[in-house]
Amino acid sequence: MTILVIEHEDEAPIGILGERWQEVGHVLDIRRPYLGDDQPAYLGPEHDALVVLGGYMGANDDAEHGWLTQTKALLADTTRRGEQPVLGICLGHQLLTVAMGGVVGRNPSGRAIGLTPIGLTPSGHADPLLTGTDGHDAIQYNDDVALENPSGATILARTADGRTQAARFGPLSWGVQFHPEVTGAIFSAWSGATAEQVSSAYAAEPTLRSTWTAFADRFLALIPSARS
């Protein structure tokens, strides 16, 4: 199977998820539009899933980062068709929120950074992708959040202050505000983290890898060709 990955900056790679998917024999088609790579207008049969990663830019920064308009269109079209799984991570989650009619802006609680526990809702406990992650840690790093979720979105997890942590936007479309892909090394390259936060991320890496490798496997299981 081939997974299309949209990367928005070189310091925010596919990490744990990509390592797992390649380990079990799948192909990553990584597009870097910030370096001039093309994005498809339509997710065709040559791709089995779509993953959109994080980045320092905002979901509404199309004027400065022109490729974001096309990324949002690709996310919306793939979500609405419901033929291939979609996963938006951090900025990817925010782009998906906007693409489906929601509103993203500055987090009223300020920057969220470091390890954070997942707080599943009842819908999250029953969700085939997020199930089993309640209380498990993930790394977060974001200034923006979903201020208004799109009509029809199902909230799967919330932060301690009530912000959307994960949502489902269609039968095969998920967004997570946290970073299931990030290792201690990736996190340490991001400016703004304290030495204590970086140390905690490295110390938690064995658990992070266990939790989010299982998440990666569940995502693969949602690909229709994997179920046939």
Full residue range of the structural domain in which residue 112 is found: 2-227
For the record, the structure tokens of 221 come out as: 């299981």
What's 106's domain CATH number?
3.40.50.880
- pLDDT band of 227, cuts 50, 70, 90: low
Residues designated catalytic: 90, 179, 181
For residue 110, name the pLDDT band (cuts at 50, 70, 90). confident
Average pLDDT value for residue range 142-146: 96
Bridge partners of residue 176, in order along the sequence:
89, 166
Distance CA 63, CA 204 (A): 38
Q: What percent of the chain has pLDDT over 70?
A: 98
Q: Per DSSP, what are the bridge partners of residue 104?
A: 146
CA dihedral 87→57→38→47, nearest 10 degrees, is 0
Residue 176 phi, psi dihedral angles, 5° rounding: -125, 130
Query: Could you read off the pLDDT of 147-197 as tens digits, one per residue?
Result: 999 999 999 999 999 999 999 999 999 999 999 999 999 999 997 889 999
pLDDT (0 to 100) of residue 105: 96
How is residue 136 written in tokens? 């498990």
Report whether 181 contacts 212 (CB < 8 A): yes
Segment 133-138 shows an average pLDDT of 98
Q: CB of 203 within 8 A of CB of 115?
A: no
Q: Tell me: the pLDDT tens digits for 13-56?
A: 999 999 999 999 999 999 999 999 999 999 999 999 999 999 99
Query: What is the total count of domains within the chain?
Result: 1
CB neighbourhood size of 9 (10 A): 16
Residue 226 binned pLDDT confidence (cut-offs 50, 70, 90): low
Mean pLDDT, the chain, rounded, equals 96
Tell me: the pLDDT tens digits for 21-33?
A: 999 999 999 999 9
Q: How far apart are CA 1 and CA 164, in angstroms?
A: 31
